[in-house]
């Protein structure tokens, strides 16, 4: 077996949030300083993803999944530990963000693309593909603030899916849009899986989606790795863990 190269390597990554970081002048001068509380969102996470792999991240709400993804995308760097992307380009796809509200969809495609590190020419070549894939019709020339939430995420998905960065980070996007678009984006994701060069990390709560797409699953619990391994095993354990709580609610 040929050993594949790693595309992403995380070494002992910790990410903290300081609560009470946002101050006003009155608070500062008139009150005794309240101690900044530190909340550890991600604690000592170490893993690596091979080139061409699809990693799914699963876990309860507030277990640090999105934080981890943002930090891999470079939105903020970890408080300690290292994230090595081996020089790959990376893009984060998440719900309803990343647009300037007053600008048209077309304009937003170009701006988002430029922020992802593409040149204006490259994007203009691809922009027709993006518009076709997003299938939002004449809305592409209207300001983004007039979009419905479905159109919003369709456009967001299309931009990241068509502008091909080496690493794609997907944050709960697959469950939006109408049934038809969902199938289309699932197919697109599968197409990307067959691409040997493309590395994908998906955050989702949907066990079935992850089982279908991923070849490795990471279970994050309270900011720490609970399990990492083959989808079947990890997802089964996760489902078993979640079952009693779901049962409680149903009763």
Partner 1 sequence: MFFTSIAMFFIAPYTAWKVHSAMRQMERNDTERIKMTAVYFVILNAVTFAISTYRGIDMRRWNPFTTTVSFRIKYIACSTVLGVLISWLLCSFLNRGITAAEIKRYSARFLSDMKKYFPYAVRAAKADLKAEVTNSFLDWMWWLIEPFCMMLIYTVMFGVVFDAAEEYFPVFIFIGITMWNFFTRGVSGSVEIVRANRSIVTRIYLPKYILLFSKLMVNGFKMFVSFAVIAAMLVVFRVRITGSILCMVPLLLVLFLITFGVGSILMHYGVYVNDLSYITGILLTMMMYLTGTFYAVAKRIPAPFGPVLEKANPVAFLIAQMRNVVLYGQALDWKILLIWCTVSVLLIWVGVFTIYRNENSYVKVI
Binding test (CB under 8 A) with partner 1, winner from 57, 116, 130, 162: 116
Backbone angles phi, psi at 103, to 5 degrees: -90, 160
Decide: is 97 part of the binding site for partner 1 (CB under 8 A): yes
Q: How far apart are CA 128 and CA 114, in angstroms?
A: 16
Name the one range near partner 1 by CB under 8 A: 113-121, 195-203, 225-233, 239-247. 113-121
Which residue, 232, 234, 225, 216, is CA-closest to 6?
216
Q: How far is the CB of 176 from partner 1 (least distance, A)?
A: 16
100, HSE (Cβ side, Cα atoms, 13 Å): 11
The single-letter DSSP state of residue 143 is B
Contact residue for partner 1 among 74, 137, 150, 229 (CB under 8 A): 74
- Please provide residue 226's backbone torsions phi and psi, each rounded to the nearest 5 degrees: -90, -50
* Dist CA 20 CA 36 (whole Å): 6
Our CB check for partner 1 shows the closer of 52 and 98 to be 98
**For residue 14, what are the β-bridge partners?**
80
The site string for partner 1 over 9-48 (x = CB under 8 A, - otherwise) reads --------xx--xxxxxx-xx---x-xx------------
Binding mask 126-145 for partner 1 (x = CB under 8 A): -----------------x--
Residue range at the interface with partner 1 (CB under 8 A); choices 42-50, 73-81, 132-140, 195-203: 73-81
């Amino acid at each position: 077996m040929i050993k594949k190269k790693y595309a992403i390597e995380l070494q002992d990554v910790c990410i903290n949030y300081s609560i009470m970081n946002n101050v006003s002048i009155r608070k500062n001068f008139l009150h005794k300083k309240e101690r900044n509380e530190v909340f550890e969102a991600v604690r000592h996470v170490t893993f690596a993803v091979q080139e061409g792999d699809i990693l799914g991240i699963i876990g309860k709400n507030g277990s640090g999944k999105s934080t981890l993804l943002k930090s891999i995308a470079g939105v903020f760097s970890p408080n300690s530990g290292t994230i090595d992307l081996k020089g790959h380009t990376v893009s984060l796809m998440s719900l309803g963000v990343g647009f300037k509200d007053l600008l048209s969809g077309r304009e937003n495609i170009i701006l988002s693309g430029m922020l992802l590190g593409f040149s204006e020419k490259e994007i203009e070549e691809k922009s027709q593909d993006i518009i076709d894939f997003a299938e939002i019709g004449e809305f592409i020339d209207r300001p983004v603030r007039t979009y419905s939430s479905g159109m919003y995420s369709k456009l967001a998905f299309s931009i990241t899916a068509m502008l091909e960065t080496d690493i794609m980070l997907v944050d709960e996007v697959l469950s939006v849009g109408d049934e038809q678009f969902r199938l289309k984006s699932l197919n697109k994701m599968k197409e990307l899986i067959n691409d040997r060069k493309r590395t994908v990390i998906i955050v989702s709560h949907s066990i079935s989606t992850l089982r279908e797409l991923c070849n490795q699953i990471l279970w994050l619990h309270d900011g720490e790795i609970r399990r990492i391994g083959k989808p079947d095993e990890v997802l089964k354990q996760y489902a078993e863990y979640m079952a009693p709580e779901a049962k409680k609610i149903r009763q």
